[in-house]
Amino acid sequence: KAGVTQTPRYLIKTRGQQVTLSCSPISGHRSVSWYQQTPGQGLQFLFEYFSETQRNKGNFPGRFSGRQFSNSRSEMNVSTLELGDSALYLCASRRGGETQYFGPGTRLLVL
Amino acid sequence: AQKITQTQPGMFVQEKEAVTLDCTYDTSDQSYGLFWYKQPSSGEMIFLIYQGSYDEQNATEGRYSLNFQKARKSANLVISASQLGDSAMYFCAMRLSGGYNKLIFGAGTRLAVHP
């Protein structure tokens, strides 16, 4: 069974640009969550989608947005990139039970 | 405030020995779940073990066990018979019953296993 996949794995952008990251959950998983990991702030929850609806959101500015498609794939978008947005962005999926399974992450570098 | 505290920034252990990674949590909720994840240098978070707040027995998964002390609000991870491949960052996390899938993570502990 394939795990959570995230594309792209690495990305370099410049300040002011926007970026879209993609996450494909494990087959059958309908819940997708996104996390940002930085050396300074650690792992922080961005948002969660279930059946195409955002049902929880972390404390991030409106520049961070996301969506989920009918096949449960999810995208997150960051507009007007800032240097501080450089991070590892992790996606996790869950079907039922307690365990969330994470993807390999997308490393974003903003120059 | 809901919080996870990992007080050991770094730990080292000799191969084949056991090691305990500390985790304390703060919540006033009665229903919650506690998790441990391993993050190698590649970045992927690997699920290790889960403990529910109402579980009376400590969770075990192979070489991993969770020492759950509810009154002290601690959920320490014990790794027995350490292997070189156990060298990684380890994160303790909490999920609250009303938080859907939101995980609150600690700062992590970097474990180095020496031969």
Which chain A residues have a beta carbon less than 8 Å from that of B43?
88, 90, 104-105, 107
Look-up: residue for tokens 């020492």? B67
Token output for B17: 């020995």
Token output for B78: 């014990």
Which chain B residues have a beta carbon less than 8 Å from that of A99?
35, 47, 50
Cα angle for residues A97, A100, A101 (degrees, 5° grid): 130
Question: Does the pLDDT at position B99 exceed 80?
Answer: no
In contact, A24 and A32? CB cutoff 8 Å = no
At A1, the pLDDT band (50, 70, 90 cuts) reads low
Which chain A residues have a beta carbon less than 8 Å from that of B106?
42
Question: Does the pLDDT at position B54 exceed 90?
Answer: yes
At B101, the pLDDT band (50, 70, 90 cuts) reads confident
**Helix, strand, or coil here: A13?**
strand
Look-up: residue for tokens 């009303």? B98
Burial (CB count <10 Å: 0-12, 13-18, 19+), residue B5: middle
CB contact under 8 A, B101 and A56: yes
- The predicted model gives B19-46 an average pLDDT of 95
CB contact under 8 A, A50 and B100: yes
